A and B are shown apart, each in its own frame.
Chain A
Amino acid sequence: MLERFSKVMGEIEKDLGTNDLNVLVLTALRDSLRHYKGRTVEESLSQLEEIIHIFNNTDPRYAIVIYNIHAVYKEIKNILQKDAKSDHPYESHKKAIVNSVNSLLKNASSLRDQILERTEALNVEGKTILIHDHSHTVQDVLHRLKKKGQKFRILVAEQDMEKTLRNIELLTAHKIPFQVVPAHMLSNIEDEIDMCFFGALTLKSTYDFVVDTGTNAIISEFHLQKKPIYVFLSSSKFSLWKARKKETTTKQVHTRKHPSKKIHFERFKFSHDRVPLSSVDFVITEEGIFDSHGIKKLYQEKFREHEDLIMEINGI
């Protein structure tokens, strides 16, 4: 079961990004709780514990999803505590349980709105912005800035064609002018670029961002060139557990054939990159725009809050 959850969540994250994975899992959880035919709330709670165990052990782990499943668990526990009766039939509490997931879904979309509000402080008038990953948050930010009347140009650093095409589709839909350049040719137009926008999967306790593959090389290059680097990430995506370095990157090895010669070779593909917080100038969350010191403080705060939540759930 763990393997199947890992696989399907990994595929969704790769295609849609972490925010949409979170919304998708929450929506699926709401539908499941709606159609669940368990006898008692306690029964649903014990099954939810198994799901929490699975989400805590997927490879990679998705902080925002873990955070939300904990929140649902806590809500159900609260519902039980409020109801003094000895038996708690699931059907009579179903509405309240489903509503708790609905409110988390509402929060998930409001988080994005809060980040967008924060970005309105950015001045990008006349600037050339480099983007690379297919972060929906970055796309939404660009759309918001355009709607606010700022005129700017986008350079899309080309990566996996599917992801680049998705960026192109969204930029076209938002009527934002753009050009595309292969990521390995960026050094030729470094001077034209004024700032770089990136999304991230998470921020780990080692203060590394987990990002799309190829992003690390671009950030390193533009960090050296002293171009401002912005990462957009809601604090709910922070990985609020002690991280091991080797986590979050999976390597795939494929054997490829030369198109015209009888040559076979091994080709490596990696799932993600890790970028140290020190290479990033600004992190924009729903709580504001932070430099590296500020974001460390925010991370520690969230880490403690999460620890408290886990202790509360476990009744410690």
Chain B
Amino acid sequence: MELSLIVPVVIFFLALGLIAFEVLDKALVALGGAVLIVLLGFLTPEQALSAIDFETIILLMSMMMLVEISRTSGIFSWLNVKLVSITRGNPLAIAVIFSLITALFSAFLDNVTTIIIVVPITIELFRGLGRDPKPIILQEILMSNIGGALTLIGDPTHIIIGNAAKLTFNEFIVNLIVPVGCSILALIGVFVLFRWKYLKPIAKNLKTLLLSNILIRKLEYEFLNIELSKPFIVKSLAVIALTLTGFALQTQLGLPVHIIGLSGALLLAIICAKDIHVHDALKGVEWTTLLFFAGLFVMVGGIEHTGLLDLISKFIVSSSSDFGMIVMYVLWGSAVISMFLDNVGFVTVMVPVIMGMESQLAGEPHVQLLWWALALGAVMGGNGTIIGASANVVGCDLAKKHGAPIGFFEYSKYAFPTAMVAMFICTAYLLFRINF
């Protein structure tokens, strides 16, 4: 094999290794890899720049800005605490409502923000009741990833896939609502079934009921004592609704999603200029993540330039004459790799591979299912291990900070089987789509 074919691949996997073992910040590693690709002549500076998918980066930046400004308004914490009050301290109701709200938030906010909003409240509540908060934290982490799988903006991997495959916001929801919805319901069912002792009602125990209600009142003053500005909240909700409507009407508007997202973020920043300074809004943008994406795109561009990804796509297509089997390769291959490697990096590599497969399988009526297999596999697989997704890492960090550390094996012990449940649902769904 030629050296020019091997070196970009070695650089890419070396970078992924350094990121996985947290030797250096992922942005530095990815940018370092990108620079190396250019310095070694695998891409010209112009080719490197054109390899960066600015649409994805702009959409990510816009959503981060939009979420940061809305989060500052306090609306999400307010909503959470109000929901806790509705549960009357019943652990079963808390678990079910918080599972659903985490999934819903994650579909429209980014998963990490969702975890940061939801986890501290539940830790405080369950710990206060003298219950181990770990099961509910794990449940929320899983729910944030699964919920994120529903929409184009719910997970960074979906933004990459959506932009590359030119899939609309509505197409994501229409095609993924069944496997995502079923996975959410199945995971809630599994949680209630296996944790019944942990969740059993407290309405006959006045002591626990009182403690629970004291804790709810405490949470109310802790999380709601910030002065909520009604106009700020209304503006945030209105712009979020407007942006989501824009996404939904993308085809009719004839605008790309990143322009709709950027318009929403800028509109909110302008009309909320008195409530939050633009510097603070921009602080909420994870610039290192965006630089990581840019570096990653250049590294993958380098590999793509060698023609290796084309070879891989040919190999996968030729490995089976059964389209269903090819879809399963993509789904399960994505899931297994995403459990151990950064799923963003993996999906970025897989985008040109799937594009290559699409052109080779032209004429296959269900060829679009390859994208949905990639999208579902990357997100659902990411649930399997603690390093599989950013929300897992952040959720476990929060748990550790609150004195409930969750280790690699402890995480996998619960998350891996539940990730498998979700994967089997996705498998059944995709096979159904192929055959019917």
- List A residues at the B interface (Cβ < 8 Å): 1, 4-5, 8-9, 11-12, 15-16, 24-25, 27-29, 31-33, 35-38, 44, 47-48, 50-51, 54
- Using a CB-CB cutoff of 8 Å, which residues 172-217 of chain B contact chain A? 203-207, 209-217
Separation of A25 and B214 alpha carbons in the complex (Å): 6
**Of B128, B206, B207, the contact of A8 (CB 8 Å cutoff):** B128
Count class of interface residues, chain B: 20 to 34
Q: In the complex, what residues of A have CB within 8 A of residue B314's CB?
A: none
B130 touches A24 (CB 8 A): no
A51 with B218, Cβ < 8 A, contacts A31-B213, A32-B213 known: no
Q: In the complex, what residues of B have CB within 8 A of residue A8's CB?
A: 128, 211, 214-215, 218
A32 touches B128 (CB 8 A): no
B207 touches A47 (CB 8 A): yes
Separation of A8 and B127 alpha carbons in the complex (Å): 11
Q: In the complex, what residues of A have CB within 8 A of residue B88's CB?
A: 31, 35
A28 with B213, Cβ < 8 A, contacts A4-B128, A8-B218, A15-B221 known: yes
Q: In the complex, what residues of B have CB within 8 A of residue A33's CB?
A: 206
A24 with B206, Cβ < 8 A, contacts A31-B88, A35-B88 known: no
Residue of B nearest to A23 (CB): B217
Separation of A24 and B214 alpha carbons in the complex (Å): 7
Main secondary structure on chain B at its contact with chain A?
A: helix
Most A CB within 10 A of own CB, among B205, B213, B215: B213
A1 touches B213 (CB 8 A): no
Q: In the complex, what residues of A have CB within 8 A of residue B217's CB?
A: 24, 27-28
Q: In the complex, what residues of B have CB within 8 A of residue A37's CB?
A: 203-204
Separation of A28 and B128 alpha carbons in the complex (Å): 14
Cβ of B144 to closest chain A Cβ, rounded Å = 28
Separation of A4 and B124 alpha carbons in the complex (Å): 12
Cβ of A161 to closest chain B Cβ, rounded Å = 16
Cβ of B26 to closest chain A Cβ, rounded Å = 29
A38 touches B210 (CB 8 A): no
Most A CB within 10 A of own CB, among B207, B210, B211, B217: B210
Q: In the complex, what residues of A have CB within 8 A of residue B128's CB?
A: 4, 8
Separation of A288 and B287 alpha carbons in the complex (Å): 62
Q: 3 closest Cβ contacts across the A-B interface?
A: A28-B213, A47-B206, A37-B203
A24 touches B218 (CB 8 A): yes
Most A CB within 10 A of own CB, among B129, B203, B211, B214: B214
Q: In the complex, what residues of B have CB within 8 A of residue A15's CB?
A: 221-222
A1 with B130, Cβ < 8 A, contacts A8-B211, A28-B214, A32-B213 known: yes
- Using a CB-CB cutoff of 8 Å, which residues 203-249 of chain B contact chain A? 203-207, 209-218, 221-222
Some 27 contacts from A to B, beta carbons below 8 A apart, are A1-B207, A1-B211, A4-B129, A4-B130, A8-B128, A8-B215, A12-B218, A15-B221, A27-B213, A28-B214, A28-B216, A29-B210, A32-B213, A33-B206, A35-B88, A35-B203, A35-B209, A36-B203, A36-B204, A36-B209, A37-B204, A44-B206, A47-B205, A50-B207, A51-B206, A51-B207, A54-B207
Cβ of B11 to closest chain A Cβ, rounded Å = 40
**Of B130, B204, B214, the contact of A38 (CB 8 Å cutoff):** B204
Residue of A nearest to B222 (CB): A15
Residue of B nearest to A12 (CB): B218
Separation of A48 and B210 alpha carbons in the complex (Å): 10
B206 touches A32 (CB 8 A): yes
13 further A-B contacts with Cβ under 8 Å, apart from A37-B204, A54-B207, are A1-B211, A4-B129, A4-B211, A11-B218, A24-B217, A28-B217, A29-B213, A32-B212, A35-B203, A36-B204, A38-B206, A50-B206, A51-B206
- Using a CB-CB cutoff of 8 Å, which residues 116-145 of chain B contact chain A? 128-130
B211 touches A5 (CB 8 A): yes
Residue of A nearest to B88 (CB): A35
Separation of A151 and B129 alpha carbons in the complex (Å): 48
Q: In the complex, what residues of A have CB within 8 A of residue B211's CB?
A: 1, 4-5, 8
Residue of A nearest to B209 (CB): A32
Separation of A47 and B203 alpha carbons in the complex (Å): 12
Residue of B nearest to A33 (CB): B206
Separation of A50 and B210 alpha carbons in the complex (Å): 12
B214 touches A51 (CB 8 A): no
Q: In the complex, what residues of A have CB within 8 A of residue B206's CB?
A: 32-33, 36, 38, 44, 47-48, 50-51
Separation of A202 and B47 alpha carbons in the complex (Å): 75
Separation of A32 and B221 alpha carbons in the complex (Å): 18
Q: In the complex, what residues of A have CB within 8 A of residue B222's CB?
A: 15
B210 touches A32 (CB 8 A): yes
Cβ of B204 to closest chain A Cβ, rounded Å = 5
Cβ of B42 to closest chain A Cβ, rounded Å = 46
Q: In the complex, what residues of B have CB within 8 A of residue A12's CB?
A: 214, 218
Cβ of B179 to closest chain A Cβ, rounded Å = 37
Cβ of A109 to closest chain B Cβ, rounded Å = 16
Q: In the complex, what residues of B have CB within 8 A of residue A47's CB?
A: 205-207
Cβ of A230 to closest chain B Cβ, rounded Å = 27
Q: In the complex, what residues of B have CB within 8 A of residue A31's CB?
A: 88, 213
Q: In the complex, what residues of B have CB within 8 A of residue A48's CB?
A: 206
Q: In the complex, what residues of B have CB within 8 A of residue A29's CB?
A: 210, 213
Residue of B nearest to A28 (CB): B213
Q: In the complex, what residues of B have CB within 8 A of residue A38's CB?
A: 204, 206
Most B CB within 10 A of own CB, among A8, A27, A32, A38: A32
Q: In the complex, what residues of A have CB within 8 A of residue B214's CB?
A: 5, 8-9, 12, 24-25, 28
Residue of B nearest to A27 (CB): B217
